């Protein structure tokens, strides 16, 4: 009896010591052979590391529970490779899952093997939820590899298993007779190419015989190999010798351009919508405290539009946003009462609170799943894994929707964030789910309108007053940057911005004053003002004065697009269509007149338009430049069209005024 007790005691202690981590595993002959024959860095001059193999596996059990596995072998070439693979992070839902690291070791170039120490493997909360205990189930298993150096090989094997459910005796007995009401589905997305070269990558799906699923492979012809193992059917998609992707600025998401596999066991979008709605709807009920808050907000607001606005602004500005992707902590939101009490929420929780409050005000609203990663949704493979965010849709009488994102605390009311425009949305209506597209605003609704008045004296000194009026995407950018800065931080920012107006170190720019609208007020447009003085800005030679037109010194007011490359392999994908205009009103010194100004220019094509105009008015010269980006996506084949307009805007002769003394 004593021996039995000792055995259980030792087993219990070892279980505590090694929870989530298995002891050192033997090294297979396959691993030794792969490492021995691994190519050198000379074969991959652009690579930071070489992925020798990356083997993914999803096993679906008859009861619907799943086990995910990853076995990775990677050779390090450079410091970039050390940075990218020295720490490997695996995310999981701590409420439903547990992560077990079976292998974590480093094969050094001299042949020695260094096992990962126990304290180098940890379970920690996702960084996004550090100050939000309601999402403590958003976990990540972090493995920090030892002795990582150039030409070292790292081996990593990890499993994500179902969390052992703690049930009382009565629940266990009842479960034998009554089926769990929670329908269990599986869905996955796997990409087969990345920013490092790959010798082998595979994904194996293990299913019970007869289990139905659907799949689709994009951007490649990868067919599954089908085999049988006992009562299971194995489907394996595999690629070899895959070159790395060399990133370009403003290129599309990698998932859009690389070979990608999508699998799902859901048979329709109606099934997906019903599955999510069963988690959402019961929690979107307003309790007494919440109904009281709604009454306070809507008293005196008679129209539905006014009520929607007041409630939306409350949830957006008074409930702190936790930036957690949909699914990272599951799909079930907390109850609206709990969110109201916590005063914080992720996209699920802010949506459930907004829907509950609107419902209490007599306004029908429903959740809508969207994808902010800008990867198109594939209708043939239904599943929530194709979405990463949750917003709210309010049905309108004409069949359209009013779209509301209560996590968009830096967007003016009525403006849907750029990354959520023109994307597929799964709207969970009471009568059934519906796939639709969110609207896209016009370039004029994403406008940066800038007005500069310059007064010159005979020494070339300038006194300038700049005013920027921003809406849409530009409004969002300035609020994101400046809304929460302190007065001291704002002053430092504007001093730094003014200093960029000077062209050389000897030309100091003095900030005289600055102004900005109330950026915390999401109902008013954003505007910025800057008053400055700069000595000897213009170059004076005898009777001639050369004035280089100052650019707008605020990054948030300029177009966020890169056209510096001579040519591109990939499309350009910018946040939105947009318009930039710049009016410069120049008052020359007494006795001077303009002898040269940029010629009138108009370039107009399907991608963008660019225009320059200069007019003389009562002794002043008014310079007007306008650039309109008509499409979010610029195909690589049309890159020259877009580049031409932007290059014209930057040409010296289009940014120079010559004045001559009479």
Task: Count CB atoms within 10 A of the CB of residue 289.
Answer: 11
Q: Give the per-residue SS3 of 347-392.
A: HHHHHHHHHHHHHHCCCCCEEEEECCCCCCCCCCCCCHHHCCEEEE
Pairing assessment for the beta strands 138-144 and 214-218 based on DSSP bridges: unpaired
Q: Is the distance from CB of 390 to CB of 347 less than 8 angstroms?
A: yes
CB-count burial class (<10 Å; 0-12, 13-18, 19+) for 481? middle
Q: What is the pLDDT of residue 645?
A: 76
Q: Say if CB 614 and CB 623 are below 8 A apart.
A: yes
Question: What does the pLDDT read at residue 175?
Answer: 52
Instruction: Name the strand (E) or helix (H) holding 161.
Output: strand 153-162
CA 550, 554, 559, 564: dihedral to nearest 10 degrees?
Answer: 70
pLDDT at 168: 55
Distance CA 477, CA 555 (A): 9
- pLDDT, tens digit, 9 for 90 and up, residues 342-378: 999 999 999 999 999 999 999 999 999 999 988 999 9
Neighbour-count burial for 119-143, b at 16+ CB within 10 Å, e otherwise = ebbebebbebbeebebbebbbbbbb
Residue 539, pLDDT score = 92
What is the structure's pLDDT at 17?
Answer: 39
Whole-prediction pTM: 0.89
The half-sphere exposure of 301 on its side-chain side, counting CA atoms within 13 A, is 17
* Residues of the chain falling short of pLDDT 70: 1-23, 165-182, 503-507
- What 8-state DSSP symbol labels residue 456? E
Read off the tokens for 507: 């030309």
Give the pLDDT score at 506: 40
Q: Which residues contact 302 (CB under 8 A, 6 or more apart)?
A: none
pLDDT digits (tens, 9 = 90+) for 239-280: 999 999 999 999 999 999 999 999 999 999 999 999 999 999
């Amino acid at each position: 009896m004593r021996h039995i007790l000792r055995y259980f005691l030792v087993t219990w202690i070892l279980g505590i010591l090694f929870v989530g981590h298995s002891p050192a595993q033997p090294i297979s002959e396959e691993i030794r052979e792969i490492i021995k024959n691994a190519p050198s860095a000379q074969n991959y001059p652009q690579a930071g590391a070489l992925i020798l193999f990356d083997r993914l596996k999803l096993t679906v059990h008859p009861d619907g529970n799943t086990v995910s596995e990853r076995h990775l072998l990677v050779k390090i070439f450079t410091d970039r490779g050390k940075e990218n693979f020295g720490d490997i992070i695996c995310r999981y839902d701590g409420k439903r899952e547990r992560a077990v690291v079976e292998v974590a070791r480093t094969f050094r170039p001299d042949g020695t093997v260094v096992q990962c120490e126990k304290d180098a493997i940890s379970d920690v909360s996702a960084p996004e939820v550090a100050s939000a205990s309601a999402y403590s189930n958003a976990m990540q298993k972090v493995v920090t590899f030892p002795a990582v150096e150039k030409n070292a090989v790292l081996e990593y094997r990890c499993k994500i298993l179902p969390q052992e459910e703690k049930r009382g005796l009565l629940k266990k007995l009842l479960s034998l007779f009554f089926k769990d009401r929670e329908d269990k589905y599986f869905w996955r997305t796997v990409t087969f190419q990345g920013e490092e070269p790959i010798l082998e990558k595979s994904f194996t799906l293990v299913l019970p015989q007869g289990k139905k699923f659907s799949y689709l492979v994009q951007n490649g012809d990868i067919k599954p190999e089908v085999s049988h193992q006992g009562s299971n059917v194995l489907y394996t998609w595999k690629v070899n010798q895959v070159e790395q992707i060399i990133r370009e600025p403003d290129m599309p998401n990698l998932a859009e351009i690389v070979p990608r596999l999508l699998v799902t066991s859901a048979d329709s979008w109606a099934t997906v919508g019903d599955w999510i709605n069963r988690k959402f709807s019961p929690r979107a009920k307003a309790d007494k405290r919440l109904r009281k808050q709604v009454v306070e907000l809507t008293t005196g607001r008679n129209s539905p539009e006014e009520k929607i606005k007041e409630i939306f602004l409350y949830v957006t500005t008074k409930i702190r946003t936790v930036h957690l992707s949909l699914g990272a902590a599951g799909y079930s939101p907390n109850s609206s009462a709990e969110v109201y009490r916590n005063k914080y929420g992720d996209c699920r929780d802010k949506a459930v609170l907004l829907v509950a409050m609107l419902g209490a005000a007599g306004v029908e609203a429903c959740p809508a799943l969207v994808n902010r990663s800008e990867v198109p949704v594939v209708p043939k493979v239904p599943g929530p894994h194709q979405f990463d965010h949750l917003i709210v849709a309010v049905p309108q009488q004409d069949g359209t929707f009013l779209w509301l994102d209560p996590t968009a605390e830096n967007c003016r009311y009525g403006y849907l964030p750029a990354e959520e425009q023109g994307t597929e949305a799964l709207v969970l209506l009471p009568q059934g789910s519906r796939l639709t597209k969110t609207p896209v605003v016009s370039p004029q609704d994403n406008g940066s309108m800038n007005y500069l008045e310059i007064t010159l004296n005979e020494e070339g000194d300038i006194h300038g007053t700049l005013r920027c009026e921003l809406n849409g995407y530009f409004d969002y950018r300035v609020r994101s940057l400046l809304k929460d800065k302190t007065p001291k931080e704002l002053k430092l920012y504007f001093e730094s911005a003014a200093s960029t107006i000077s062209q050389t170190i000897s030309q100091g720019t003095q900030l005289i004053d600055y102004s900005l609208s109330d950026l915390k007020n999401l109902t008013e447009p954003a505007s910025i003002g800057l008053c400055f003085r700069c000595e000897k800005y213009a170059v004076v030679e005898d009777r001639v004065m050369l004035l280089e037109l100052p650019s707008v010194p605020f990054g948030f007011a300029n177009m966020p697009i890169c056209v510096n490359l001579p040519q591109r392999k990939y499309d350009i994908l910018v946040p939105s269509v947009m318009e930039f205009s710049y009016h410069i009103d120049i008052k020359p010194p007494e006795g001077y007149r303009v002898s040269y100004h940029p010629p009138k220019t108009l370039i107009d094509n399907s991608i963008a338009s660019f225009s320059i105009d200069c007019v003389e008015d009562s002794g002043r010269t008014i310079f007007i430049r306008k650039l309109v980006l008509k499409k979010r996506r610029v195909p690589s084949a049309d890159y020259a069209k877009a580049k031409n307009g932007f290059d014209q805007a930057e040409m010296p002769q289009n940014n120079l005024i010559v004045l001559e003394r009479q």
